[in-house]
Every structure is written in structure tokens, then in C-alpha cells.
Amino acid sequence: MSKPVSQEALDTLFNNARTYNSWNQEAVSDDLIKQLDELVKMGPTSANCCPMRVVYVKSEEAKAKLKDCLMEGNVEKTMTAPVCAIIGMDMQFYEKLPQLFPHTDAKSWFVGKEKFIESTAFRNSSLQGGYFIMAARALGLDCGPMSGFSPKKINETFFAGTSTKVNFLCNLGYGTEKDLFPRSPRLDFDEANSIV
């Protein structure tokens, strides 16, 4: 039976967590990135389809390529982040279903059904993107998830020759309070929820 996590953990994951725009220059190791993946992949997706694919942009050469794909307002915070994760979605995720969902022929549910493929890939890679942010925070990293890029350029630069398309970007590192906006309001329960 699951038990509630500590208040400290809730604060780390939600209450005190922010979207960071400025970073100190402490490196994010490849080992930490691999630990992050080990957590993220445990989150549920429909039919265990796991469509998320991630490119971790760390090198100066790769960052230079990424820079040309960004809207102006996202350039500085992304170029100074230790890592920018390009969260993608594999539009042929169903090819992995015999491996990931072996007890039935789930691949046949998708073959030739482009709208179903697209909605499943987008929904579940977005869901995995949420796990990604929570897992990164749980490992002591700060996050800067964002839109504000050219999907066409990202796909051409980082996913050429593959069946993967970009969903969103997420800077990773250790945030500083420089350029940290005050927390924006949230909706009250009754504005966004109903219990029926």
C-alpha cells in the first residue's frame, strides 16, 4: 500500500518548485541523466506505449544548432542551462509494442490509423513529460519547460531521418533566483474542479 511522501518531498516536487530562467554552471552528469530516465520510464502510459524520446543537448556544438531553432526570448536561458532536453514523440511507437505490451497484439490497434497514432503519441509523451519534470525535481534538478521554438527546425536538426517529432523543451540544471518571476496565481478548487 502506498504511503504519503513527506512534506519536504511535496515542497520539492510542487510547493517550492519553480520554472527557472537562470542557472549556475554546475554540470549535470550523464550518470544523473541516466538516473532520471530510470525513474521516468516507470510512469504509466496507455498500453505501456512509452512514445517519449529525449535528446539531451549538452555540447557547445549541439547548443549552437539548437540556438537557431529558438525564439529570441528563450535563447539566453537555454544557452546558459547545463542541459536542454528535447522531449520528442515517436510517431512509430507502436513498432515497440510487441516488446512493451507482449501479452496481446497491441501493434495492430494502431497500424494505418494516423489520427489515433498522433493523439496517442502526443497525449502519452506529454504525460511522460510531466513525469520527467517531477523525476528531475526529485533528483535535485531544477527545470525550465517551455514552448517557443520552431518545431520544423527542431525536427530537421535533431530528428531528421527518424519517426520522432518534438513535443516541448525542458532546460535542466541548478536554478538561481536571477530572472525568477513571482509565482503566478492558480485557480481555486471550484474554478477548475467538480466532484460528482
The pLDDT, as a whole number, for residue 181 is: 87
96 within a domain of the structure (yes/no): yes
24 within a domain of the structure (yes/no): no
Residue 142 β-bridge partners:
173
73 within a domain of the structure (yes/no): yes
Mean pLDDT by 10 residues, the chain (196 residues): 94 96 96 98 98 98 98 97 98 98 97 98 98 98 98 98 98 94 95 98
Q: Is 77 exposed, middle or buried (0-12, 13-18, 19+ CB in 10 A)?
A: buried
Q: Which residues make Cβ contacts (< 8 Å) with residue 48, sequence separation at least 6?
A: 97, 100, 101
Dist CA 161 CA 4 (whole Å): 44
Number of domains in the chain: 1
163 within a domain of the structure (yes/no): yes
Q: What is the pTM of this model?
A: 0.96
The pLDDT, as a whole number, for residue 20 is: 95
CATH number at residue 50: 3.40.109.10
178 within a domain of the structure (yes/no): no
Structural domain boundaries, residue 73: 33-172
Taken in order 139, 134, 12, 7, is the CA torsion positive or negative?
negative
